[in-house]
Amino acid sequence: MNTITIPKNLIKNDDLVIIPRKEYENMKARMMPIFYLKGKNAKLLDKRVSEGIEEYRAGKMEDLNSFLKKEYPDFHKKYGN
């Protein structure tokens, strides 16, 4: 059996996890990218999210099926829902 020594500065607050390389690569491939917005783009997104929350609370939301039928009438013909 091989022995390895891990420096203590890499094991802060028990945050060390050891997994096989193949499993790590699979997990990495499935991860969603993280984007950080700044300035005008961040404010626009915040505004759209706030408006969406207000509409949801006011009961102005429609379900996905009715939206698809209205906006994409041929969608149901192609995919049969």
Residue 23: per-residue pLDDT: 93
Domain annotation covers residue 45: yes
Domain annotation covers residue 44: yes
Domain annotation covers residue 18: no
Domain annotation covers residue 48: yes
Distance CA 56, CA 23 (A): 40
Domain annotation covers residue 1: no
With b meaning 16 or more CB within 10 Å and e meaning fewer, what string describes 64-78? eeeeeeeeeeeeeee
CA distances from 34 to 27, 31, 37, 43 (A): 15, 9, 10, 17
Residue 28: per-residue pLDDT: 87
| Confidence band for 78, pLDDT divided at 50, 70 and 90 | low
Q: Which two tokens stand for residue 61?
A: 């939301």
Domain annotation covers residue 4: no
Domain count, the chain: 1
| Average pLDDT for 42-68 | 90
pLDDT tens track for 20-53: 999 999 998 888 888 889 999 999 999 999 999 9
Q: Is residue 69 scored above 90 in pLDDT?
A: no
Query: Domain of 69?
Result: 39-79
